[in-house]
Structure 1
Amino acid sequence: MQEIRGVWIPNIPHSRVLMSPENIAQSMNFLQKCGFNVVFPVMWNQGYTLYPSERMQQEGFRKTFPYFKTNKFDPLEILIKEAHSRNIAVIPWFEYGFAASPIVDGGYLIEKNPHWLALDQGKNPVIKGGLTWMNSLHPEVQQFMLDLILEVVQNYPVDGIQGDDRFPAMPIGGGYDETTLQIYQQEYGNRAKPPLNVKDQQWMQWRANQLTLFLRRLYFQVKAINPNLIVSMAPAVYPFCYHHLLQDSPTWLNLGIVDLLHPQFYRENFQRYEIEVNKINLSLDTIQKAKISPGIAFRANGVNLTPNDILKCVELNRKKGLQGQVFFHYEGLLAHNKANARALKTKGVYDRMASLPTFCRTTNDT
């Protein structure tokens, strides 16, 4: 059998996995026993990398997340070693994407580079999801994020990279800064002004197109380093992701600039999950569906997904010809005396090992 059996690994304190080399080894052992074959560990969070970054140091930023500097270990290096030794692929997750910080003023990224700040019509900072955002269309911001991703790809034997609902993305209220205005006027003339209506169709599509162009650039630069690497994206559900975050994920699929797409089908029961799967099943062809492995949350909208519903979600994905699934997140496997992990190990679900789909396999060594 071939399918994606993935799980996201969040930062401390949301998960204990990355707290020590011992925890990492134990967690990879647990995932192997549970039948998982790919992990998506967070590597960009709150304005910090979770690996020692020369690129961050060049910018005058901290080289790594403070916890790992204090405890003197590289979680990505250790995780790759432990995962690969158990035939588990590693695709680093750049969780914060173009979001700078949970701190209202944007934290130290914006303090050092105030021109990176995303602005709304009133020239106020763009805040979405409790986070202050960088300007996703600023060339310097785009190059900075691209550099971080390429740094990982060049320095670690990873199996791919991943963005999410913050990468590439821009909250719909953004785009009213001088840099974006200049880019807009290069296309529409020196007197052109972005519409005041943030939901103007042309204005939305133009900004979404800029993000798509960036993703295309990222995709081909990653592939130039290693064509076997997986470019994975986990946007919000379409069309929500377009209407709120300007993520044109159907176009990403149509252009072939994403290898795997994990739409966040975070629903509190199977019935609501099935609605989302049926929507995507009707809109995609067989080749496109083979790139879809939805995100499933163990807990959504304050409600725990039952073990029985989890099994039904997995079975539905198989029935509809999807590529598997990715669970959010690791600690949900341990909750309620490991009820979810035990459910997945039942016959016909994760009781037998599954290899990654052929196009997902890389030639990386440990």
Structure 2
Amino acid sequence: MGHSLPPVSAQSTLPFTSPTTELRGVWLTNIDSDVLFSRENLGRAIQRLKRLNFNTIYPTVWNWGYTLYPSRVAERVVGRSIDPHPGLARRDMLAEAVIRGHRRGMTVIPWIEFGLMAPADSDLVSRHPDWVTNRLDGSQIIYEGTHPRVWLNPTHPEVRQMLLDLVNEIVTNYDVDGIQFDDHFGMPVELGYDPYTVRLYQQEHGGSLPPNDPHDLEWVRWRADKITSLMTEVFRTVKARKPRAIVSLSPNPWEFAYETYLQDWFTWERRGLIEELIVQVYRDDFERFTSELQRPEIQLAKSHIPVGIGVLTGLRNRPVSMEQIQTQVQAVREHQFAGVSFFFYETLGDRDADFRSLFRQPVTRPRVG
């Protein structure tokens, strides 16, 4: 990286259990979770999170190639204005989340969960097959668990416009406090060999084809720069519509994000394109967890903007012990981060007393800007 770790002050090693400001967030998703699928579920969840002294929710608004709110952009692009799940019919989940969240003093930042990823068999992909990028051998599908996924081409002007239109629609039509992308706002390193991207590369390289090695340093940098330019446009779109809205990102640790997903969030942060960073540090091993917190790029970001840590509270078939959660939250506090966000709501489980012991008093979230 060419940067040394900033010196750590002596006080940062002392535990402090009652910060005066702290990001206390949780992601609300429609994967392995019913929290968004009725007004009652969503209302109960927000009431419960307020009682447990959380102050921020990140409800997903773009998943499986659909929006989770009624969208004119999606109607035009996908042919459906909203995800067909019956629990979302005849309601506006995002409007409910904003109104109920704000009523309880919570910050509401919608989360574009799938980013540039889409199900291989989605309406979005069947309507726009030329938006999908591919490997050198022409194949497109990348499995996420058992799910066949494809990735939309971040250099394609229509893909870029669709994302910008979604962002613009959300920040224009809803009283949101910001917008968040995550690790899916990038592209797996083996992709980028689709005809559109190859032509663009040739235009900028005197007719030369991209290297056959997807890990070639210049080819990695060129594609990453295209994603950075898209992030720049996202930032400008948000700020043009709603200057006070927070542009938030929840990526993987930088080295993995850049080398695996061409997501150079360190550059984005240095350029002022992200105003809140929540790094997903989903590690069971405590030493690995704390070593990620001390990475130089995270420390540099922390001196510039609020940086929180994404803490895993469980997956569908993999509960995480409360002891691990408590230990990790304490480490985040000892290293003087802005706070935590938990992935994901459903896996908080029936552990209200435990979470109350973590968040004993209500506090405000750190100011952005």
CA contact (8 A) 2:62 2:113 kept: yes
Deviation at 1:86, TM superposition (A): 0.4
Candidates 189, 194, 197, aligned match of 1:177: 194
Which residue number corresponds to residue 225 of structure 2?
A: 209
Is it true that 1:6 corresponds to 2:28 in the alignment? no
Residue from 348, 359, 363 that aligns with 1:354: 363
Give the residue type in structure 1 aligned to 2:365: L
Change (3 A) 1:285 1:57: closer
CA-to-aligned-CA distance 1:315-352 (integer Å, 9 cap, x gap): 22222221111100001112xxx23x322211xx3011
1:107 to 119, 122, 145: 122
1:302 to partner: Cα distance = 6.7
Residue from 237, 241, 261 that aligns with 1:221: 237
Q: Is the 8 A contact 2:22 2:364 kept in 1?
A: yes
Amino acid in structure 2 at the alignment position of 1:207: R
Question: For residues 203 and 71 of structure 1, what CA distance do their matches in structure 2 show?
Answer: 44
Displacement of 1:253? 1.2
1:235 and 1:245 map into 2 onto residues whose CA distance is: 10
CA distance in 2, matches of 1:211, 1:19: 32
1:63 and 1:161 mapped to 2: Cα distance?
Answer: 20
Q: Which amino acid aligns with 2:314?
A: R
How far apart, CA to CA, are the structure 2 residues paired with 1:215 and 1:254?
13
Identity of aligned residues (%): 34
Question: Structure 1 residue 86 and structure 2 residue 86: aligned?
Answer: no
Q: CA deviation at 1:92?
A: 0.6
Between the aligned partners of 2:254 and 2:58, the Cα distance in structure 1 is: 22
Deviation at 1:213, TM superposition (A): 1.0
**1: CA distance, partners of 2:296 / 2:332:** 11
How far is 1:25 from its partner? 1.0
* CA deviation map 1:266-315 (0-9, x unaligned): 11243332121122577526523x42111111127975432222222222
Q: Helix, strand or coil: the match of 2:140?
A: coil
Does residue 241 of the first structure (1) align with residue 250 of the second (2)? no
Whole-Å separation in 2 of the counterparts to 1:272 and 1:302:
22
SS in 1 for 2:254: coil
Unaligned runs of 5+ in 1: 361-366
Q: What amino acid is the match of 2:339?
A: G
Deviations 1:106-150 (A, max 9, x none): 422121111101111011214253411111221110111111111
1:25 corresponds to: 43
- Say whether 1:323 aligns with 2:338: yes
In structure 2, the partner of 1:364 is none
Query: Which of residues 65, 72, 76 is equivalent to 1:47?
Result: 65
In structure 2, distance between residues paired with 1:164 and 1:285: 16
- Is the 1:50–1:64 Cα contact (8 Å) retained in structure 2? yes
TM-score computed with the length of structure 1 as normaliser: 0.90
Task: Say if 1:283 and 1:66 are closer, same or farther in 2 by CA, change over 3 A.
Answer: same
Q: Structure 1 residues 282 and 2, CA, compared in 2 at 3 Å: closer, same or farther?
A: closer
Give the distance between the partners of 1:230 and 1:257, measured in 2 at CA.
10
Which one of the candidate residues 256, 264, 276 is aligned to 2:272? Answer: 256
Q: Distance in 2 between matches of 1:224 and 1:282?
A: 28
Q: Distance in 1 between matches of 2:221 and 2:297?
A: 24
Aligned residues: 347
C-alpha distance in structure 2 between counterparts of 1:75 and 1:250, whole Å: 33
| Mapped partners of 1:258, 1:330: distance in 2 | 24
8 Å CA contact retained: 1:6, 1:39: yes
Q: 1:115 and 1:171, CA in 2 relative to 1: closer, same or farther beyond 3 A?
A: same
Deviations along 1:174-220, one digit per CA (max 9) or x if unpaired, are 1111211222123222x211000000001001111111111011111
SS of the residue 1:268 aligns to = coil
Residue 181 of structure 2 corresponds to 163
What SS does structure 2 have at the residue aligned with 1:184? helix
The runs of at least 4 aligned residues of structure 1 exceeding 4 Å deviation read: 280-283, 300-303
| 2:189 counterpart letter in structure 1 | I
